[in-house]
Amino acid sequence: APLNNLYSALQRMLRGQESGGTEQDLAVLYQSYFRMLRLTGNLSDAPSLLEEESLLLVNDDIVAFVHGICCRAEEPVELCGQRLIYESDKKFHVIAFNAAGIERMLLNLLSNAVKFTGPGGLITVSVRVRASAVEISVEDTGPGLDPNEQDSLFNRYLHPDLLDPAPQGLGLGLPLCRRVAQGHGGTILLTSTHHAGTKATVSLPNRRMENTKLRDMAFDYAGGFSHTLLELSDALPAKAFL
């Protein structure tokens, strides 16, 4: 689907259509590129689903980190006619976590919430600090999931017959989110009530590393582009890429 959109937009631009359409065609080009980049990123990470090793964890403020992601996602979410709310019971809290993994996981969960919550819907991201765990949850006011589908959400990529029809993805998003949670020694739980919304809760161990590690110069899978627009590209309208 992204390749077809790229080709169609290029054809319209090359044919020199009326000037009013050029900006929209450029938006479609950017959006389609971001969608392809997101897809290849997920495919590149798919082998990690077979791994059990811990991720590289660094002590940092998880509350501020999640808040920053929500601030960057707030405006794109508004373009879908929805509202994003951030809540936390702490102003700051330091734990050991993998920043790249948590960012992609949270943006992936936000993308799902945006896609399945209609205009006027509400998405709430909350951080709750418990004695043994830090819980990060993404809750939407969408239609919820069919009870018969919930059991297969984390392994649909293994069953092509269960995947949503095109242009939906390959079912890798939630399994990769679970891999990130497990790489922290944590868990992810999805609860949904049919016609009453869905809530994804990630539980991370409330602990710090004894020995501080320096961050490596990580490879930027987004090629320098906005991680927020990249991970939300499947859910946003083309105008978000103008």
The residue ranking higher by pLDDT, 225 or 155, is: 225
pLDDT value at position 98? 95
184-207 confidence digits (pLDDT tens): 999 999 998 877 789 999 999 999
Q: Of 104, 105, 139, which Cα lies nearest the Cα of 121?
A: 139
Q: What are phi and psi of 202, to 5 degrees?
A: -105, 125
pTM of the model: 0.86
Residues contacting 83, CB < 8 A, separation 6+: 77, 121, 122, 123
Q: How far is CA 7 from CA 3, 222, 240, in A?
A: 6, 22, 20
- Are 169 and 234 in contact by the 8 Å Cβ rule? The answer is yes
Neighbour-count burial of 171, counting CB atoms closer than 10 A to its CB (0-12 exposed, 13-18 middle, 19+ buried): buried
Residue 81, Ramachandran bin (φ over 0: left; ψ between -120 and 50: alpha; else beta): left
d(CA 113, CA 142): 8
d(CA 47, CA 204): 22
Prior bond of 237 cis (ω within 30°): no
Mean pLDDT of the chain: 86
Confidence of residue 140 (pLDDT cuts 50, 70, 90): very high
Average pLDDT over residues 58-78: 96
Strand-strand pairing, 122-129 and 83-88: parallel
Q: Which of 8-17, 85-94, 188-197 has the highest mean pLDDT?
A: 85-94
